[in-house]
């Protein structure tokens, strides 16, 4: 290729990049404008000022979503993945609450939910601005730093440790089944009340339920350079096997998140180590994921009888949906959103003389101390359960029979329980720092760095940070990450890698 041809090619590439950059800003405006126009003409309930902050939040997150869809971001770039998730979390979910007229149960609601959805959207909009500034200011994907740390895999040691891990975790799960009376007894124990029947087995589950991800790590290491392993038939087959293993190792006891986030990790491993995923494959996977969450909701609500009710349809399905609140809107708005919950917290905090006392950071300390067994520290600091319950229903001291609320409040919700209203946008600071660090790791870690085996899990944590609470995050971090991280740490040699100017190459998005 001549120098002139190279210049023409570079010019075309630059023009294409410029066009994509413009599209990432223009398309969100069209999406918001067209959708809001349609909603207002369709339903007079949308003719309300709350569309303004929701629309502004939508514009911010849709930029990242469009960048992901147009290929400006890598398929597993956390900025793009979060953009897709936040497009629902901050934009479509608040609107869908109006469409479905779906709201949290067992509370005295505000007179108009739209007002509090709107005020919460203003706080989220401010937080999203903070998030984008911290995440992107001074960040470049153009070159590697001069010096980086690399975790070099000792392949023989890693395979040996993974094989040993599979033997130990598999044996522990078989022991769990044996004590439960087999798989049927295991399911029955869940149906009768998993909290009691599996009490005190958290440490066992932390080890035994690592089997599926250790299996997949073993598979990607031994098949990384095998051509036959890169076929879509083989990839779909191995993901199907992995999915079944996730059900057998934890999924059947009602742990839906154990399966969902495990599938995310699996897709990331395939993408980074075996064959790059496509957007079409991800789209199909998302349909499967939402369908699974919907179906599994019936299992969690009624066990095998719940699945039978779903299959029978008709009155049996409707009765279970009504009694356990398990419609598709529950999946989209309660499982994958926090809009009504956070709006309600904001509403309650604005009631004069509500008597609520902030936790002042104790819920976060309580989450960390969950790592210490209650037998060693009987008076551990309480988690968000106390403040979350009291803000919804009043002081526990005044209502000694009140049960703790198990609702999840998300990043901004827990921040408000601790420090008040303006802690909601401030909570995005830590979130943005973490996402920025993830992008730096993606940029600096080599493809064969052993930490790339846990990178999808670390990306998954960013999604959890947004929609979950401190205790949920600590639980997932330890239960799902401890065993794989320990194995990778022991099987890796840490060394500093120096990059001279000639070695610094542009990193393709």
pLDDT at 9: 47
Separate counts of helices (H) and strands (E) for the chain: 22, 2
Is the residue at 243 inside a domain?
A: no
Res. 5: pLDDT tops 60: no
Residue 420 or residue 200, greater confidence:
420
Helix (H), strand (E) at residue 440: helix 428-444
Mean pLDDT confidence for 295-323: 69
Q: Which residues contact 493 (CB under 8 A, 6 or more apart)?
A: 151, 152, 154
Report the pLDDT value the prediction gives residue 168, as an integer from 0 to 100. 94
pLDDT in tens, 127-143: 999 999 999 988 776 65
* Residue 113: pLDDT over 90: yes
Mean pLDDT of the chain: 85
pLDDT band of residue 18 (cuts 50, 70, 90) is low
| 319 domain residue, yes or no | no
Render pLDDT for 427-469 as a digit per residue (tens, 0 to 9): 999 999 999 999 999 888 888 889 999 999 999 999 999 999 9
Q: Is residue 178 part of a domain?
A: no
Tokens of 476: 């997932």
CA distance 333 to 330: 5
Residue 159 has pLDDT above 60, yes or no: yes
What local confidence, expressed as pLDDT, does residue 506 receive?
A: 37
Q: How many structural domains comprise the chain?
A: 1
Structure tokens at 394: 């009043």
Asked whether the predicted pLDDT for residue 14 surpasses 90, the reply is no
Listed residue (105, 472, 107) closest to 324, CA to CA: 105
pLDDT in tens, 458-469: 999 999 999 999
Q: Which domain holds residue 137?
A: 3-144
Say how many CA atoms lie within 13 Å of 76 toward its Cβ.
25
Quote the pLDDT of residue 509.
36
Q: Which residues lie below 8 Å from residue 306, measured CB to CB, with a gap of 6+?
A: 298, 299, 300, 320, 324, 326
DSSP character for 434?
Answer: H
Burial string for 274-283 (b: 16+ CB within 10 Å, else e) reads beebeeebbe
Long-range contacts for 321-327 (Cβ within 8 Å, ≥24 apart)?
A: 324/297, 325/105, 326/297, 326/298, 326/301
47: left (phi over 0), alpha (psi -120 to 50) or beta: beta
Q: What percent of the chain has pLDDT over 90?
A: 51
C-alpha separations of 207 from 166, 167, 280, 484 in Å: 10, 11, 34, 10
In a domain, 87, yes or no: yes
Q: Is residue 204 part of a domain?
A: no
Whether the Cβ atoms of residue 252 and residue 187 lie closer than 8 Å to each other = yes
- Position 13 scores a pLDDT of 53
Position 36 in a domain: yes
pTM above 0.85, yes or no: yes
Across 118-122, 351-355, 415-419, least confident range: 351-355
Q: Are 90 and 128 in contact (CB under 8 A)?
A: yes
- With CA atoms as reference, report the closest residue to 316 among 326, 308, 328, 327: 308
Q: What is the pLDDT of residue 64?
A: 94
Could you give the CA distance from residue 392 to residue 403 in angstroms, rounded to a whole number? 12
**For the residues 272-286, what does the mean pLDDT come to?**
87
- What pLDDT score was predicted for residue 495? 82
In a domain, 43, yes or no: yes
pLDDT over threshold 50, residue 160: yes
Q: Is the separation of the CB atoms in 299 and 307 below 8 Å?
A: yes
Q: What is the pLDDT of residue 8?
A: 43
Residues in the chain: 509
Q: How far apart are CA 297 and CA 287, in angstroms?
A: 15
Residue 492 DSSP SS3: strand
Name the one residue in this structure whose structure tokens are 């009765």: 319
pLDDT at 504: 43
pLDDT band (50, 70, 90) for residue 502? very low
C-alpha to C-alpha distance for 334 and 242, rounded to whole angstroms: 27
Tell me: pLDDT of 17 over 70. Answer: no
CA distance linking residue 432 with residue 79, whole number of Å: 10
What pLDDT sits at residue 321? Answer: 64
CB atoms within 10 A of CB 181: 12
Report if residue 237 sits inside a domain: no
Distance CA 378, CA 452 (A): 39
């Amino acid at each position: 290729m001549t120098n002139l041809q190279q210049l023409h090619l570079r010019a075309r590439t630059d023009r294409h990049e410029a066009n994509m950059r413009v599209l990432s800003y223009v398309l969100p405006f069209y999406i918001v404008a067209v959708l809001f126009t349609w909603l207002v003409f369709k339903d007079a309930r949308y003719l309300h000022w709350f569309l303004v902050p929701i629309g502004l939040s939508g514009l911010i997150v849709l930029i990242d979503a469009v960048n992901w869809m147009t290929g400006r971001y890598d398929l597993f770039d956390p900025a793009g993945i979060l953009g897709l998730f936040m497009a629902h979390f901050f934009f479509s979910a608040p609107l869908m609450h109006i469409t479905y007229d779906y709201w949290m149960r067992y509370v005295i609601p505000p007179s108009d939910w739209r007002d509090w959805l709107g005020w919460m959207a203003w706080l989220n909009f401010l937080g999203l601005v903070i998030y984008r500034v911290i995440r992107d200011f001074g960040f470049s994907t153009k070159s590697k730093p001069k010096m980086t740390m690399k975790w070099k895999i000792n392949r023989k040691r890693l395979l040996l440790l993974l094989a040993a891990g599979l033997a130990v975790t598999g044996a522990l799960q078989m022991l769990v089944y044996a004590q439960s009376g087999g798989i049927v007894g295991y399911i029955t124990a869940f149906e009768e009340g998993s909290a009691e029947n599996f009490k005190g087995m958290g440490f066992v589950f932390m080890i035994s339920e690592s089997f599926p991800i250790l299996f997949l790590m073993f598979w990607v290491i031994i098949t990384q350079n095998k051509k036959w392993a890169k076929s879509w038939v083989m990839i779909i087959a191995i993901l199907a096997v992995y999915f079944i293993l996730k059900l057998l190792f934890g999924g059947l006891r009602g742990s839906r998140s154990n399966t969902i986030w495990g599938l995310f990790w699996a897709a990331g491993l395939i993408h980074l180590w075996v064959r790059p995923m496509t957007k079409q494959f991800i789209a199909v996977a998302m349909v499967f994921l939402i369908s699974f969450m919907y179906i599994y909701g019936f299992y969690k609500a009624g066990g095998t009888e719940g699945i039978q009710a779903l299959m029978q349809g008709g009155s049996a399905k409707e009765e279970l949906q009504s009694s356990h609140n398990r419609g598709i809107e529950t999946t989209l708005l309660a499982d994958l959103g926090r809009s009504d919950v956070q709006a309600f917290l904001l509403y309650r905090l604005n009631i004069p003389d509500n008597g609520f006392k902030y936790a002042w950071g104790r819920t976060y300390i309580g989450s960390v101390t969950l790592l210490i067994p209650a037998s060693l520290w009987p008076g551990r600091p309480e988690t968000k359960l106390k403040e979350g319950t009291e803000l919804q229903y009043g002081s526990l001291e005044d209502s000694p029979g009140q049960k703790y609320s198990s609702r999840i409040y998300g990043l901004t919700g827990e921040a408000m329980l601790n420090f008040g209203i303006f802690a909601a946008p401030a909570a995005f600071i830590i979130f943005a720092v973490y996402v920025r660090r993830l992008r730096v790791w993606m940029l600096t870690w080599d493809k064969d760095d052993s930490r790339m085996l846990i990178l999808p899990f670390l990306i998954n944590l960013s999604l959890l940070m947004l929609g979950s609470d401190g205790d949920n995050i600590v639980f997932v971090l330890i239960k799902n990450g401890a065993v794989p991280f320990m194995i990778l740490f022991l099987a890796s040699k840490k060394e500093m890698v120096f990059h001279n100017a000639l070695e610094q190459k542009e990193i393709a998005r």
